[in-house]
């Protein structure tokens, strides 16, 4: 059953990719979408211990929580990325790449630092879908657009993007200000994720139960929660976790992740710097 589901998703991914006008593809081959480019034997968007057992995957990615939905990611080759950038990128040099989303001003800025070489908006100011697929050093970056709600209950089509960063044989996804569960088409375009940054506020993005459903669909090895307001909303998310996930609190910052160090069981990891009462 699992094999046929994987094949169906792979076929769907080919159809979806063929039907959408993507930005020019980066030269760096996608490991996260390898099931589309290769044989249908691979199981997309499903955790497998093989992801955690690749002893060759020792290159390390550094992840530092900056605040709210902003993380500072440093690739093994030294490329620095800031997610949902609002003008603050944490300690260190100006990032090479920043990503932004349109839901609220706490996820973007209209005046990014001019020293940033690549400013990737998760929405298209001219309308339609934002499409990014580029290579920066040892990193490939692409996006999957999703919709967002307005304050009045209206829907802004393609106002958010799930950004996917491929580096060190890892597939790292930032869900941004995700407002809805993911369709089969969304999952096909995302492909495999090893690490995912997930908004867990339970109100402004999605209710907690729906977010847990999304994470179970994605089946990333490592889930790093973000975008919550105080210890109560974090505790609510932690309390809703199913037996699928283990829970850990990071003791070091930055968090260092490699393909070889991924946990064998899907794990929620709470980084340092969140403040408040953290689960023990």
Q: What is the mean pLDDT of residues 41-52?
A: 40
- pLDDT tens digits for range 55-68: 467 799 999 999 87
- pLDDT tens digits for range 190-214: 999 999 999 987 567 688 889 899 9
- The residue segments making up the domain with residue 33 are 2-270
CB 138 within 8 A of CB 77: yes
Compute the distance between CA of residue 125 and CA of residue 148 in angstroms, rounded to an integer: 14
CATH of the domain at 246: 3.60.15.10
Q: Does a structural domain hold residue 64? A: yes
Intra-chain end-to-end CA distance of the chain, in Å: 38
Q: Does a structural domain hold residue 275? A: no
* Predicted local distance difference test score (pLDDT) of residue 27: 58
Q: Does a structural domain hold residue 279? A: no
CB 2 within 8 A of CB 41: no
Compute the distance between CA of residue 193 and CA of residue 184 in angstroms, rounded to an integer: 15
Q: Does a structural domain hold residue 280? A: no
Q: Does a structural domain hold residue 46? A: yes
Compute the distance between CA of residue 94 and CA of residue 104 in angstroms, rounded to an integer: 23
- pLDDT tens digits for range 3-43: 344 444 444 544 444 444 444 455 566 778 854 444 333 33
CB 84 within 8 A of CB 102: no
Q: Does a structural domain hold residue 198? A: yes
Give the closest residue to 245 by CA, choosing from 227, 226, 264: 264
Q: Which of 22-31, 150-159, 161-170, 259-268 has the lowest mean pLDDT?
A: 22-31
- More confident of the two residues 68 and 239: 239
Task: Tell whether the model's pLDDT for residue 75 goes beyond 60.
Answer: yes
Number of structural domains (the chain) is 1
């Amino acid at each position: 059953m699992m094999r046929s589901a994987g094949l169906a998703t792979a076929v769907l991914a080919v159809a979806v990719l063929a039907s959408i006008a993507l930005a020019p593809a980066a030269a760096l081959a996608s490991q996260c979408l390898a099931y589309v480019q290769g044989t249908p034997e691979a199981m997309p968007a499903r955790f497998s211990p093989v992801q955690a057992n690749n002893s060759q995957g020792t290159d390390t990615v550094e992840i530092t929580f900056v605040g709210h939905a902003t993380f500072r990611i440093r690739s093994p080759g030294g490329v620095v990325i800031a997610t949902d950038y609002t003008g603050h990128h944490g300690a260190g040099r100006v990032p090479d790449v920043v990503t932004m989303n349109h839901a609220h001003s706490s996820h973007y800025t209209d005046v990014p630092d001019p020293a940033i070489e690549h400013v990737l908006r998760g929405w298209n100011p001219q309308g339609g879908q934002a499409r990014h697929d580029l290579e920066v050093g040892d990193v490939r970056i692409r996006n999957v657009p999703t919709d967002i709600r307005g304050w009045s209950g209206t829907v802004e089509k393609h106002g958010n993007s799930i950004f996917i960063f491929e580096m060190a044989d890892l597939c790292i996804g930032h869900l941004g200000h995700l407002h809805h569960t993911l369709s089969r088409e969304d999952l096909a375009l995302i492909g495999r994720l090893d690490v995912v940054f997930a908004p867990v506020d339970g109100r402004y993005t999605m209710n907690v139960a729906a977010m847990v459903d999304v994470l179970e669909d994605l089946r990333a090895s490592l889930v790093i929660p973000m975008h919550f307001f105080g210890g109560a909303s974090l505790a609510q998310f932690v309390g809703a976790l199913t037996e699928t996930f283990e829970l850990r609190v990071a003791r070091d910052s930055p968090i260092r992740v490699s393909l070889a160090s991924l946990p064998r069981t899907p794990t929620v990891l709470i980084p340092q710097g969140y403040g408040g009462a953290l689960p023990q």
